[in-house]
């Protein structure tokens, strides 16, 4: 007898939903049972695009009510996310939540409370869309760190530079309005903050600055930079911009007692005794903001294995909450001009 597959429901049919759908379709342990969107026609169109044998329902709540759905993928506009997560937790569903998971401290507190209760009551599994951590470049770097090739890390720098404008379908709700969208730190640079913390560890305090460089239509500073002090004594910086006039850049610099990483290059004489100059990572780099280049399949495969084997994803919501907390601390520092100490929840 064949093993029962995990039923999947996907809500929101925008840009990123295509990669979620592809990931579940490729995974032999999953079966997409239903699609839903704020616009039923967009869900019907996505079903036809992928030739799916599934239902189309009218709402997020309709997905939650179904007994044949084990996993919910949340690909809808980000201002809906915290409410969706809380509802999924109350329904006992496993979920893949795109980021940001909250827009404010109050929302993040509510998400954390609901998730902690659901983990105890239903033992649900979760994952947040920090896809940067599944790129081969980052996996190579993490392997180097774990094996001691860089020694003790004392400085980490990450930046998320990605121009956003009216060309983006989520422009009106995700980018330029404070009411409808969060901030650079939450919307895009959460990727760079996540990598920063994965390398440097938990954050003790931040001091951020924001600026309107030349795009005045934003209701929050579209460019920021923040100094970071980690609890282990290391330091670093992180930043982001939606107003750069150049291709997408994910900046990643690491300095340790035995070596360094400079974006696509690395130097470690502890491993390569005769190394005289930087070598280049011969793998896929974190160098594209295009969702079709992101390793969603790897994220979904790991998530499914967590559910099947009762393990916890390395980018589960617990970790996502910590990343968003740092982002919100940076936003608070930008607004107040003061150093903000963690935790703030």
Average pLDDT over residues 170-199: 84
The pair of structure tokens assigned to 266 is: 């690395």
Could you report the per-residue pLDDT of 263-286, keeping only the tens digit for each? 999 999 999 999 999 999 999 899
Could you report the per-residue pLDDT of 32-48, keeping only the tens digit for each? 999 999 999 999 999 99
Contact 243, 252 (CB under 8 A): no
Average pLDDT over residues 96-125: 95
Average pLDDT over residues 79-85: 94
Average pLDDT over residues 60-71: 98
By residue count, the chain amounts to 345
Can you count the helices (H) and strands (E) in the chain? 11, 15
For the beta sheet containing 235-241, the strands, ordered from the edge strand earlier in sequence to the opposite edge, are 279-280, 265-267, 260-262, 249-256, 153-161, 235-241, 223-230, 203-211, 340-341
Average pLDDT over residues 230-259: 97
CA distance 190 to 83: 19
For 126, other C-beta atoms within 10 Å of its C-beta total 28
Average pLDDT over residues 62-74: 98
Q: 85 CB contacts (<8 Å, ≥6 apart)?
A: 74, 95, 97, 101, 111, 114, 115, 317
Query: H/E element holding 309?
Result: helix 296-309
Does pLDDT of 174 surpass 70? no
Domains of the chain and CATH, by start: 6-131+296-314 (3.40.50.720), 132-290+323-341 (3.30.360.10)
Does pLDDT of 178 surpass 70? no
Find which of 3-7, 14-18, 47-51 is predicted with most confidence, using mean pLDDT. 47-51
Residue 81 φ/ψ, nearest 5 degrees: -60, -50
Contact 39, 13 (CB under 8 A): yes
Could you report the per-residue pLDDT of 16-34, keeping only the tens digit for each? 999 999 999 999 999 999 9
Reduced to 3 states (helix: H, G, I; strand: E, B; else coil), residue 39 is coil
Does pLDDT of 3 surpass 90? no
DSSP 8-state assignment for residue 5: P
Does pLDDT of 54 surpass 50? yes
The pair of structure tokens assigned to 242 is: 């939606």
Beta-sheet pairing, 203-211 with 340-341: antiparallel
CA distance 272 to 275: 5
CA distance 196 to 129: 16
């Amino acid at each position: 007898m064949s093993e029962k597959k995990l039923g999947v429901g996907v809500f929101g049919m925008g840009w990123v939903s295509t990669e979620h759908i592809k990931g579940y379709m490729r995974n032999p342990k999953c079966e997409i049972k239903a699609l839903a969107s704020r616009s039923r026609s967009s869900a019907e169109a996505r079903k036809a695009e992928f030739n799916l044998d599934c239902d189309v329902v009218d709402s997020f709540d309709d997905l939650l009510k179904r007994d044949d759905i084990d996993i919910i993928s949340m690909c809808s506009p980000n201002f809906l996310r915290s409410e969706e997560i809380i509802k999924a937790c109350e329904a006992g569903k496993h979920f893949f939540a795109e980021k940001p998971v909250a827009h404010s401290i109050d929302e993040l507190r509510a998400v954390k409370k609901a998730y902690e209760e659901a983990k105890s009551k239903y033992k649900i599994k979760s994952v947040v869309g920090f896809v940067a951590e599944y790129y081969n470049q980052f996996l190579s770097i993490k392997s180097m760190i774990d094996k001691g090739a860089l020694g003790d890390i004392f400085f980490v720098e990450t930046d998320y530079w990605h121009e956003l404008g009216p060309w983006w379908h989520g422009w009106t709700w995700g980018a330029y309005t404070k009411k409808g969208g969060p901030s650079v730190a939450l919307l895009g640079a959460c990727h760079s903050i996540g990598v920063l913390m994965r390398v440097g560890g938990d954050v003790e305090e931040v001091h951020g600055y924001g600026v309107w460089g030349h795009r005045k239509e934003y209701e929050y500073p579209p460019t920021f930079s923040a100094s970071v002090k980690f609890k282990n004594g290391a330091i670093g910086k992180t930043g982001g911009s939606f107003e750069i006039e150049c291709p997408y850049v994910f900046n990643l610099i690491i300095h340790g007692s035995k070596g360094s990483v400079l974006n696509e290059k690395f130097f470690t004489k502890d491993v390569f005794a005769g190394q005289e100059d930087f070598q280049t990572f011969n793998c896929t780099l974190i160098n594209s903001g295009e969702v079709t280049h992101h390793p969603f399949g790897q994220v979904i495969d790991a998530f499914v294995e967590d559910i099947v084997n009762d393990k916890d994803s390395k980018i589960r919501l617990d970790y996502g909450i910590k990343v968003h907390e740092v982002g919100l601390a940076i936003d608070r520092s930008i607004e107040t001009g003061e150093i903000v100490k963690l935790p703030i929840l």
